[in-house]
Amino acid sequence: MADLQLDMFRAAVLRTPDAVAIHYFDAALTYTELDGLSDALAEILRRELCDD
């Protein structure tokens, strides 16, 4: 299920990169912005939680 959701998100990033992906009160993020933030968070988690 998680892989399917990730695939759907990645497809949305490619299909409509400048479309709004999320609204939170007065703030909004595009699919490109959300993708970049999620990649940055994933990198932080990898560095902090994985033994290299």
Tell me what pLDDT residue 3 has.
84
Encoded tokens for 30: 């595009």
Tell me what pLDDT residue 26 has.
96
CB 21 within 8 A of CB 31: yes
Q: Where are the domains of the chain?
A: 2-49
Task: List the chain pLDDT tens, one digit each, 52 residues.
Answer: 778 998 999 999 999 999 999 999 999 999 999 999 999 999 999 999 986 6
* Residues 6 or more apart in contact with residue 34 via CB below 8 angstroms: 21, 22
Encoded tokens for 3: 């892989």
- CB atoms inside a 10 Å sphere around CB 13: 19
Which residues on neighbouring strands pair with residue 28, listed in sequence order? Answer: 23
- CB atoms inside a 10 Å sphere around CB 12: 15
Tell me what pLDDT residue 15 has.
97
Tell me what pLDDT residue 1 has.
72
